[in-house]
């Protein structure tokens, strides 16, 4: 049995165990290079990846960039308000076209100046008459499949993948009341942390750590007994809900919020859309992470935070108050970073063996069931990954 076979069999065993007896798989689950390659092939190339929010690109010509499984891409709002995604690689000599985010009337390659429109079509090239048989009309940037769900933009390299909206639809009953697509972005940034992507995903989906590692920020206002999970493991996502007690700085509805009633005014929902998109939706804010592994020991994180529209409207000093909210959420992120980077160093240590899963970590078991299904998908690709 190879090391990869061993870790796959441990993942299957953890997935098959009843939740009460399920254990976290051995440390190779987080440290194996071969498993990381298999994850790229069977998970990330096959699934949807969240790359941002439609609210990040509200106007025609607004764009964001991203790299998904080695494919640079840009996502742009076109003149008809459609959100479209294209390969961000010039059809001349392969230069990356756009960087970061911004607004542009046309996409001009920084290398030799080829020009593309919002539909990815080549519209011009310097001294194009010098080319023999230059058929401009036949040159277009490849388009990448894109969907929008609850204001999140998803892309996939897999033409066969089921619609992300259909996969996540059961969550809409919980989420629609918040009208999250109207939340106003205050931060979008990319970070790289020294940890395995699954440690961060698992951290985000469990609330067992809240009262402890976040005791200085969000943890003090978390009544453990109010935490709820779906009983069975959904195929494409999981979630938990919990409430925020009075006095919490964030996580309760603003008085001008007329959308939410009863317990929903102080209930927070934490969905994870498998494999690696997770968000906290609260009556007053939303933040999300979308993870892209860079080998077993590093993860690139697209992180965004937004505030409910009435929270922003009610601010007397918008700049200072949004900066304070962003700094608070940043502090929470740094507490998580401390935990998941420390856990990755722990996973690499020779004497390490992980233990049982606490009931407040139930969603981790859902995640392991999902991973086992995806990773044990057939023998041929398994050999290729070794």
Nearest distance in Å: CB 331, Fe ion? 11
Which residue in the set 8, 75, 90, 332 belongs to the binding site for ligand FES (CB under 6 A)? 90
SS3 category, 68: strand
Give the tokens for residue 81: 């308000």
Give residue number: closest CB to Fe ion: 336
From residue 101, alpha-carbon distances to 104, 188, 287 in Å are 10, 10, 19
Nearest distance in Å: CB 140, ligand FES? 14
User: How far is 131 from 142, CA to CA, in rounded Å?
Assistant: 22
Stretch that binds ligand FES, among 88-96, 127-135, 188-196, 262-270 (CB under 6 A): 88-96
Which residue in the set 79, 93, 345, 358 belongs to the binding site for ligand FES (CB under 6 A)? 93
Contact call for residues 335 and 213 (beta carbons, < 8 A): yes
Binding-site size, ligand FES (CB under 6 A): 9
Stretch that binds Fe ion, among 113-121, 236-244, 267-275, 332-340 (CB under 5 A): 332-340
Q: Does 47 help bind Fe ion (rule: CB under 5 A)?
A: no
Strand 71-77 and strand 237-243: the pairing is unpaired
What letter does residue 134 receive in the DSSP assignment?
-
β strands within 104-221, DSSP E: 107-108, 115-116, 122-124, 143-149, 152-156, 184-193
Q: Does 336 help bind Fe ion (rule: CB under 5 A)?
A: yes
Q: Does 131 help bind ligand FES (rule: CB under 6 A)?
A: no
Q: Among candidates 288, 119, 290, which has minimal Cα distance to 197?
A: 290
Q: Does 338 help bind ligand FES (rule: CB under 6 A)?
A: no
Q: Does 239 help bind ligand FES (rule: CB under 6 A)?
A: no
The residues that touch ligand FES, with contacts defined as CB under 6 A, are 90, 92-93, 95, 109, 111-114
The residues that touch Fe ion, with contacts defined as CB under 5 A, are 336
């Amino acid at each position: 049995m190879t090391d990869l076979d061993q870790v796959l069999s441990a993942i299957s065993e953890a997935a098959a165990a009843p939740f009460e007896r399920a254990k976290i798989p051995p440390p190779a689950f987080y440290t194996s290079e071969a498993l990381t390659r298999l994850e790229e092939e069977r998970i990330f190339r096959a699934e949807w990846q969240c790359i941002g929010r439609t609210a990040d690109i509200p106007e025609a010509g607004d764009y964001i960039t991203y790299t998904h499984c080695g494919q640079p891409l840009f996502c742009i709002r076109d003149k008809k308000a459609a959100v479209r995604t294209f390969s961000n690689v010039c059809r001349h000599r392969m230069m990356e076209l756009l960087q970061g985010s911004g607004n542009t009337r046309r996409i001009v390659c920084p290398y030799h100046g080829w020009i593309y429109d919002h539909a990815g079509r080549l519209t011009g090239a310097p001294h194009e008459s010098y080319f023999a048989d230059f058929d401009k009309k036949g040159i277009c940037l490849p388009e990448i499949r894109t969907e929008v769900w609850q204001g999140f933009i998803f892309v996939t390299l897999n033409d066969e993948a089921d619609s992300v909206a259909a996969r996540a639809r059961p969550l809409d009953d919980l989420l629609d009341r918040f009208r999250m697509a109207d939340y106003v972005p205050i931060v979008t940034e990319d970070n790289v942390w020294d940890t395995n992507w699954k440690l961060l995903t698992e951290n985000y989906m469990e609330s067992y750590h809240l009262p402890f590692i976040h005791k200085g920020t969000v943890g003090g206002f978390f009544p453990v007994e109010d935490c709820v999970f779906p009983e069975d493991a959904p195929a494409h996502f999981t979630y938990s809900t919990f409430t925020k007690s009075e006095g919490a700085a964030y996580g309760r509805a603003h008085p001008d919020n007329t959308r939410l009633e009863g317990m929903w005014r102080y209930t927070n929902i934490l969905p994870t859309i498998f494999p690696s998109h997770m968000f906290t939706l609260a009556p007053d804010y939303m933040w999300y992470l979308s993870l892209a592994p860079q080998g077993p020991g590093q993860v690139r994180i697209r992180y965004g935070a937004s505030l409910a529209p009435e929270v922003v409207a009610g601010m007397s000093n918008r700049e200072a108050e949004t900066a304070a909210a962003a700094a608070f959420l940043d502090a929470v992120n740094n507490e998580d970073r401390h935990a998941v980077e420390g856990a990755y160093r722990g996973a690499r240590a020779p004497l390490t063996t992980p233990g049982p899963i606490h009931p407040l970590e139930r969603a981790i078991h859902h995640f392991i069931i999902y991973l086992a299904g995806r990773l044990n998908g057939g023998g041929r690709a398994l050999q290729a990954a070794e």
